Amino acid sequence: MGAPASSVVVTAAAVVLLCGAFARAQDMDKEWARPPYRGYFGAPGSLLPQSDVDLLEFPLNLEYLETEFFCWSALGYGLDAIDASLTGGGPPSIGGQSASLTPFIRDVATQFCYQEVGHLRAIKQTVRGFPRPLLDISAANFGKIIEQALNATLDPPFNPYENSVNFLIASYILPYVGLTGYVGANPKLLTPQARKLLAGLLAVESAQDAVIRTLLYERGMTQMANYGVGVAEITAHISDLRNALGRRGVKDEGLVVAPGQGPEGLTVGNVIAGDNLSLAYDRTPEEILAIVYGTGNPAQHGGFFPQGADGRIARGLLV
């Protein structure tokens, strides 16, 4: 005697569910990173999806850059002399040197230096990461960026290591780009572990940017010797340049803005950049690379990264 029709239907449904579950398990197996094959390196038994690994590894490019610039400026040496293991065997940076800073600014720069070292440790304790890419932190490279922002040839050329004001202007170029990247990555992360790490990194990067902007805001009307332009005006030009290179509208603002564009439309002072609700702007990896390459194109390296940035996201965009 044959089985009841209802039993056949239930059995068939069960088979379909099992097949679906097996297929989903295979998909998850492809998606979730397992050391050492998919780039994950962290606490035993932990798993991160490949997308989280990629989004956490990408900022290493900016963290390496900030570490090298702040450490060289403050201490006269870079990551190799602090903890060579964190470099991953990557090439030494180009053009780093000790900056001529006041004791107060040197103290701030020293703190920034070691904070960035901590960021490298934090990221590399969670994901495998990659070696430090070749970085150009030379005075000549910063000089090109300032000339590009001002659309002028400067004589003498801008030198970030020459004095405290120049150092702060050069510093204005760095942490803000990274923090907009963290804001952009946040909603794309899938796991609490990744989001917690990113939140910690974002908080300190934002604080660094706030310190830099505050110190520059205090000097906003100071005229740059030989250049005939004020500090606040230079920050506006740098922000305009980053907006142009990023090609995604206004996501950057100088220390002084036009009437109606400050917080609640009631101030022209703009010590902290934010949108019309005073929320931080976001950027994608493509925008960030276009900015730090100085080319406006995430597939065309240059600027701070003569040979390009590293990580799956950056490498996947290079032509």
Q: Where are the domains of the chain?
A: 48-317
pLDDT tens digits along 192-223: 999 999 999 999 999 999 999 999 999 998 88
Q: Which CATH architecture has domain 48-317?
A: Up-down Bundle (1.20)
Q: Of 238 and 228, which is predicted with more confidence?
A: 238
SS3 of residue 48 by DSSP: strand
Query: Quick check: 23 and 15 in contact, CB under 8 A?
Result: no
Query: Quick check: 248 and 257 in contact, CB under 8 A?
Result: no
Q: What is the mean pLDDT of the chain?
A: 88
Centroid of chain to Cα 262: 25
What does pTM read for this prediction? 0.85
pLDDT tens digits along 3-17: 444 444 434 444 334
Candidates 161, 159, 206; CA nearest to 182 is 206
pLDDT tens digits along 130-176: 999 999 999 999 999 999 999 999 999 999 999 999 999 999 999 99
Query: How far is Cα 205 from Cα 228, in angstroms, rounded to an integer?
Result: 31
Q: Which residue's entry shows tokens 């780009």?
A: 177
The pLDDT assigned to 188 comes to: 97
